[in-house]
Amino acid sequence: MDKQVYTFDAALYDELKGINILQAVAPLNYRQEKAAFLDSNYRYTPRFNYAKTEVDVFSRKRALYNLPLESLTHPTLITLYQQVIHSYADKLDQFLAVGTPDFLYDSMRYYGEPSVKDIRNAHFILHLPDEPEENETEYDSAGISKWLTAFAENAGYDYDIVLDNTMIANAMVSDIKVKVNQSARIKETELKALAHHELGVHLATTLNAKQQPLKIMTLGSPVNTTTQEGLAILCEYLSGNLTLSRLKVLAMRVLAVASLIKDKHFNETFLLLKEQYHVPDEQAFTITARVYRGGGFTKDYLYLQGFRQMLNAYEQRQDFHHLLCGKASLEQLDLISEMVNEGYLIAPKFISPAIKQPAQLSEVDKFIAHAIK
């Protein structure tokens, strides 16, 4: 590989490492505001606080556009790096608006908004009859940590599990750190799905990215959220742990984002979920808070859309596994496969367990998954 490719790649990584919008939109007072909202009988509007950003957006963007893209000679590399630079420039703008109404517009510019098809898919799922509840073992944060540890070790992953009391999600991966919500309590099927989602995809693609000769796969292809979250839901499905109740949560996220964009207030979106879809208070608050954090975070509608895209790609693309090379996106799969074939990237070492050895799925599960258009 040409020396200037390594030089350019390292310079780009130095400018962009440490940029984490999820951390920037994590409310510092989430638990207090949830308690105030529920105690007020849903009349109080949460006022989330956020850590002050230390990202110098102007300097970062100027440095990005000053990188010597002309030093690259391979057209595939030029195309990919150019797309990444433009994508990160848009992502950087979000940091300036966290906690303000302007954040919604920056979020929509980066992640987009639900289409008519997305909303139709959400309604289809929400109109399916509920599954009977099964009596399953429930795990607290200690049990979750122990189970995830065994999963990671069995897959040969490097990891570091820590408990966190500031999270909205039950668990999430940040680099090779697996954060577990200290207040989490989930049932066994949900825990298995969580393991295949967070470790089987998010941790596996992080580890694969770290083995690449180029750091661009750690930074990620442009707007790789749809693909990464879609892969994670696909692995929940292929492992036999994607329940209808989980799909309904993904569908409600779509409708919550649509409600946000229609200029509905937090309380109205919460009541939409509670009254129209009979969602329990805790879950309705979590879904609504995820969408309204930062000032309006539209990312959550992409999970359902991503699942549909990844299921189609899994069944149709022979180079599908190249999406596990790092933080890849489906739109760049042709470019990434070309880079693997030419030696700029290496094929992924860690293949998600659910992709490597899928479970025997029921005909009902297959029908529902393929009915999402």
Q: How far apart are CA 237 and CA 360, in angstroms?
A: 10
**pLDDT of 308-343, one tens digit each?**
999 999 999 999 999 999 999 999 999 899 989 988
Give me the percent of the chain exceeding a pLDDT of 70: 100
Residues in the chain: 373
pLDDT(52) > 70: yes
C-alpha separations of 339 from 29, 220, 288, 325, 343 in Å: 44, 14, 40, 11, 6
Residue 286 is predicted with a pLDDT of: 95
Q: Tokens 């393991």, residue?
A: 195
**pLDDT of 245-274, one tens digit each?**
999 999 999 999 999 999 999 999 999 999
Q: How far apart are CA 217 and CA 231, in angstroms?
A: 16
Residue 282 is predicted with a pLDDT of: 94
**pLDDT of 292-304, one tens digit each?**
999 999 999 999 9
Residue 165 is predicted with a pLDDT of: 83
**pLDDT of 98-152, one tens digit each?**
999 999 999 999 999 999 999 999 999 999 998 887 889 999 999 999 999 999 9
CA nearest to 342, candidates 77, 84, 85:
77
Q: Characterise 266 by phi-psi region: left (phi > 0), alpha (psi -120 to 50), beta (else).
A: alpha
Q: Where are the domains of the chain?
A: 3-371
Tokens standing for residue 128: 């399916």
Question: Where does the pLDDT of residue 73 fall: very low under 50, low under 70, confident under 90, or very high at 90 and above?
Answer: confident
Residue 1 is predicted with a pLDDT of: 61
Q: How far apart are CA 193 and CA 120, in angstroms?
A: 25
pLDDT(213) > 90: yes
Question: Where does the pLDDT of residue 167 fall: very low under 50, low under 70, confident under 90, or very high at 90 and above?
Answer: confident
Residue 287 is predicted with a pLDDT of: 97
Mean pLDDT of 272-292: 96
Question: Where does the pLDDT of residue 231 fall: very low under 50, low under 70, confident under 90, or very high at 90 and above?
Answer: very high
Rg (CA), the chain: 20
**String of DSSP letters for 38-81:** HHTTT-SPP----PPP---HHHHHHHHHHS-GGG---HHHHHHH
Tell me, rounded to whole angstroms, the distance of Cα 271 from its chain centroid.
25
pLDDT(76) > 90: no
Give me the percent of the chain exceeding a pLDDT of 90: 84
pTM of the model: 0.93
Residue 368 is predicted with a pLDDT of: 96
Mean of per-residue pLDDT scores for the chain = 94
